[in-house]
Amino acid sequence: MKPIKVMVIDDSALVRKVLSEVLNSDPDITVIAQAQDPVFAMQKMKNEMPDVITLDVEMPRMDGITFLKKQMAEHPLPIVMCSSLTKENASTAIEALRAGAVDIITKPEIGVKGFLEESAIRIIDAVKAAAVARVRKHNTAVINVEPKRSADIMLAKSTHAMSETTDKIIALGASTGGTEALRQVLSAMPAMSPAIVIVQHMPEKFTTAFANHLNELSAIEVREAVNGDRLYVGQALLAPGGKHMLLKRSGAQYHVEVVDGPLVSRHRPSVDVLFRSVARYAGANAVACIMTGMGDDGATGLKEIRDTGGRTFAQDEATSVVFGMPQEAWKRGAAEQLIALQDISGVLLGACRA
C-alpha cells in the first residue's frame, strides 16, 4: 500500500514542523509539502496533489474556511481542520464540518508534556480516516486500526444487566463523518423521544459548540454532558471531548458519569466505554447504533448490549463516510441490522416501541 500523501497548511512554521514530524513518524503517511497559507498551497498542488490536507483555521491572505469551501467546490479532497482550543475556533470548526471538512484535530501545544503521546495518536488516526473518507463516490478501502486498550480499564465486564425498567435508552456512537450523521438523526427525533446518550470522537471544547449546534436544529434538548446529569425524555447528552462518559442508574433513574481516564480503543471519549455501561445499566431497555467512523471503537460494547437483550444496529456502507466502525460491529455479530442513515431515527424509535 502506498503511503498517504499529506499537505500541512499552517501559518506557524513551528506547528508545521511538529505536525509533519508526528505524521511522518507513521510508516503509512508521508508529508509531501508544507505551506504557510492556502495561496502557497494552491501553487504547490499544481505540482503534486495530496491525498489529505491538514488545514489551519486562521491564516493570512486566505482563511481556512474560504479555502475549504473553494477546494470542496472545485476539487474535493479530504481535509482535516487543525484548530487551537478556543471558543471562537470551536464554532468555526463546526462550520468547517458543515462545509465538508472530514474531521477536527487540535493544534499541537508546543512544549506541553505528554502531547506527543495521546494527541499524536489522534492526529495520525484522523489523517488515516480522512484518506478513506467518501469525499468522492469511490474509495471505500478501510485501513485497520488496532486499539490500545479495551473498556476493561474503565468498567469491568458484567455477566448480567440490571433488572429492566420501563424507560428506554438510545445510545449512539460515531467518529469520522459522524457530525453530519448525528445532525441528520437528531434533527429527525420528536420532542418526546427516549433519552439519548452519544459519543462522537471530537477534541475537548469542540463538543460544546457541536452540542449547541445540534440543539439549535433539533426538537429535543441536546447539550454537552456534565458529571451527574440525569437523563430525561426528550433530551440527548453528548460526551465531552477529552472525557469518558458512562451511563449509571439509581433505582429507576438514569444518570451519567463523566470521568477522566486513559484512551480506550484509542479514544477518549470511547464508544466502547459508553456502550459497556449501557449494557450493564440498561440491558434489554437499550437501543444502540454504531455509526460512521474509522477503526473498531464501539464494536465490543455494541455486542455486549446485544448479548444483554438490547436492540443493536449499525449504519450501512453506502451512507457511511467511513465504513470502519459499523463494518467491524457487523463482522462481530454485534449489530442485528445495517441501516441507511436516513432511516436510523425511525428504526431506533420503532425499536424503542417494540
pLDDT at 113: 53
pLDDT over 70 percentage in the chain: 88
The model's pLDDT over 170-205, given as tens digits with 9 standing for 90+, comes to 999 999 999 999 999 999 999 999 999 999 999 888
The model's pLDDT over 47-102, given as tens digits with 9 standing for 90+, comes to 999 999 999 988 888 999 999 999 999 999 999 999 886 666 788 888 999 999 99
pLDDT-wise least confident of 5-9, 109-113, 199-203, 299-303? 109-113
pLDDT at 81: 94
The pTM of the full predicted model, rounded to 2 decimals, is 0.87
Q: Which domains does the chain have, with CATH numbers?
A: 4-131 (3.40.50.2300), 156-353 (3.40.50.180)
Beta pairing, strands 4-9 & 52-56: parallel
Cβ atoms of residues 16 and 10 within 8 Å: yes
Model confidence band, residue 144 (pLDDT cutoffs 50, 70, 90)? very low
pLDDT at 168: 96
The dihedrals phi and psi of 82, each to the nearest 5 degrees, come to -115, 115
3-class SS of residue 230: strand
Q: Which residue has the higher pLDDT, 146 or 77?
A: 77
pLDDT at 58: 86
pLDDT at 146: 40
Q: Which of 297, 316, 320, 345 is catalytic?
A: 297
Looking at every residue in the chain, the average pLDDT score rounds to: 90
pLDDT at 114: 56
Max alpha carbon distance in the chain (Å)?
A: 64
3-class SS of residue 245: strand
267 a catalytic residue: no
Quick one: how far is CA 105 from the chain centroid? 11
Does residue 159 carry a pLDDT above 80? Answer: no
175 a catalytic residue: yes
201 a catalytic residue: yes
Q: Which of 20, 84, 175, 277 is catalytic?
A: 175
Segment 101-122 shows an average pLDDT of 76
